[in-house]
Structure 1
Amino acid sequence: MARYFGGLDWGESHHDMAVIDQDGTVVTQLRITNTADGLAELLAALRQVKRNRRDIPIGIETGRGLIVAGLRKAGQPVVVLNPTQVARYRDRLSAQRKKSDRSDAKLLAHVLRVDGDAHRPVPASTPRAEAIRELARAHRKTTHDARHTAARLRSRLHEFFPAALDAWPSQGGLTRSDARTILTAAPTPAKAARLTHRRLEDLLTAAGRTRQIADEADRLFHLFRGRALRQPPEIEDAMGHQSSALLAQLDVALTTAARLLDQVEYLVDQHPQAPIYRSMPGVGPILTGRLLGELGDDPGRFATARNLRAYCAATPITWASGGSHRHSHRRNANPILAEAGHLWAFAALTRSPGARALYDRRREAGDRHAAALRRLYAHLLGSLHHCLRHAVPYSESRAFPANDEPADQSTQ
Structure 2
Amino acid sequence: MQYAPTTSLPASAPNGVTAGVDWASADHVCCVVDAAGKVTVRFTVEHTQAGLKELTRRLTKAGAYEVAIERGDGPVVEALPATGLTVVVISPNQVKNLRGRYGSAGNKDDRFDAFVLADTLRTDRARLRPLTPDSPATTTLRATVRARRDLVAHRVALCNQLRAHLTTAFPGAVGLFRDLDSPISMAFLARFDCQDRADWLSQRRLTAWLKSVGYCGRKDPAALLSHLKNAPRGSTGEDGTARAHATHAMLAVLTSLVEQIKTLEAQISEQLALHADAQVFTSLPRSGTVRAARLLAEIGDCRARFPDPSSLACLAGVAPSTRQSGKHKSVGFRWAVNKQLRDAICDFAADSRRANPWAAKLYDDAIARGKDHPHATRILARAWLYVIWHCWQDSAAYDPAKHGALQALLKQDQPAAA
CA 1:203–1:339: 2 relative to 1, 3 Å:
farther
Distance in 1 separating the partners of 2:135 and 2:196: 56
- Tell me, in whole angstroms, the C-alpha distance in 2 between the residues paired with 1:203 and 1:78: 62
Q: Which residue of 2 aligns with 1:382?
A: 386
Alignment partner of 1:12: what SS?
coil
8 Å contact from structure 1 (residues 355, 400) kept in 2: no
Aligned length: 396
* Cα displacement (A) at 1:259: 0.8
Matched, 1:124 2:124: no
Runs of 5+ unmatched residues, structure 2: 1-11, 411-418
TM-score when normalising by structure 1: 0.87
Q: Deviations over 1:265-302 (max 9, x none)?
A: 11111111000111112211111111111111012111
Name the counterpart of 1:186.
Answer: 192
The DSSP-based 3-state class of the residue aligned with 1:236 is helix
Query: What is the percentage of aligned positions where both structures have the same residue?
Result: 27
Measure, in 2, the Cα distance between the counterparts of 1:98 and 1:354.
50
Give the drift of 1:18: 1.3
Q: Check the 8 A contact 1:282/1:345 in 2, yes or no.
A: no
> 1:98 and 1:339 mapped to 2: Cα distance?
33
Q: Distance in 2 between matches of 1:248 and 1:84?
A: 41
User: Residue 167 of structure 1 aligns to a residue in which SS?
Assistant: coil
Task: Name the structure 2 match of 1:92.
Answer: 101
Question: Is 2:26 aligned against 1:13?
Answer: yes
CA contact (8 A) 2:279 2:396 kept: no
Give the stretch that moved more between structures: 389-398 or 379-388: 389-398
Kept in 1: contact 2:318–2:381 (CA 8 A):
yes
Partner SS state of residue 306, structure 1: helix
Partner of 2:358: 354
Q: How does 1:359-370 map to 2 (within 5 A)?
A: 359-370=363-374
Alignment match, 1:83: 92
| Letter in structure 2 aligned against 1:60 | I
Shift in Å at residue 388 of structure 1?
A: 1.3
Describe how 1:306-345 pairs up with structure 2 within 5 A.
306-345=310-349
Note if 1:278 corresponds to 2:282: yes
**Amino acid of the residue matched to residue 45 of structure 1?**
R
Secondary structure of the 1:175 match is coil
Deviation at 1:189, TM superposition (A): 1.1
Residues 8-407 of structure 1 aligned to structure 2 (within 5 Å): 8-50=21-63, 56-96=65-105, 99-168=108-177, 170=178, 173-195=179-201, 200-201=206-207, 203-205=209-211, 207-211=213-217, 216-226=220-230, 228-231=232-235, 233-401=237-405, 402-403=407-408
Equivalent position amino acid for 1:81 in 2? I
Secondary structure of 1:300's counterpart equals helix
Deviations 1:143-177 (A, max 9, x none): 11101110111111112322111413x4xx10111
Q: In 2, are the aligned partners of 1:314 and 1:378 still within 8 Å (CA)?
A: yes
Given that 1:177 and 1:208 are in contact with CA atoms closer than 8 Å, whether structure 2 keeps it comes out as no
Q: Cα distance 1:38–1:160, how it changes in 2: closer, same or farther (>3 A)?
A: closer
For the residues of structure 2 that align with 1:112 and 1:177, how far apart are their CA atoms? 55
8 A contact 1:18–1:102 mirrored in 2: yes
Task: Give, in whole Å, the separation in 2 of the partners of 1:188 and 1:382.
Answer: 54
Distance change in 2, residues 1:335/1:386 (3 Å): same
CA contact (8 A) 1:182 1:203 kept: no
Following TM superposition, by how much is the alpha carbon of 1:198 offset from its aligned partner in structure 2, in angstroms? 6.3
CA distance in 2, matches of 1:65, 1:341: 24
* Gapped regions of structure 1 (runs ≥ 5): 406-412
Q: 1 CA distance for matches of 2:74 and 2:162?
A: 35
Taking structure 2 as the reference length, the TM-score comes to 0.86
Moved more, 201-210 or 14-23: 201-210
Cα pair 1:261 1:286 within 8 Å, conserved:
yes
Q: Deviations over 1:197-235 (max 9, x none)?
A: 5664565456543446xx644433443345734446333
Q: Please report how far the alpha carbon of residue 311 of structure 1 lies from its aligned counterpart in structure 2 after TM superposition.
A: 1.1
Listed one character per residue, the Cα deviations across residues 71-130 of structure 1 (whole Å, up to 9, x for unaligned) are: 133342223332233233334324456554433322321232333444433332101101
Deviates more, 1:284-293 or 1:80-89: 80-89
CA deviation after TM superposition for structure 1 residue 57, in Å: 2.4
8 Å contact 2:194–2:235 — kept in the other structure?
no
What amino acid does structure 2 have at the position aligned with 1:34? H
| CA apart distance, 1:243 | 1.9
Alpha-carbon separation, structure 2, partners of 1:325 and 1:30: 45
How far, CA to CA, are the matches of 2:355 and 2:109 in structure 1?
55
RMSD (Å) for aligned C-alpha atoms: 2.6
The residue number in structure 2 matching 1:408 is none
Distance of 2:232 and 2:215 partners within structure 1 = 28
Residue identity in the other structure for 1:285: T
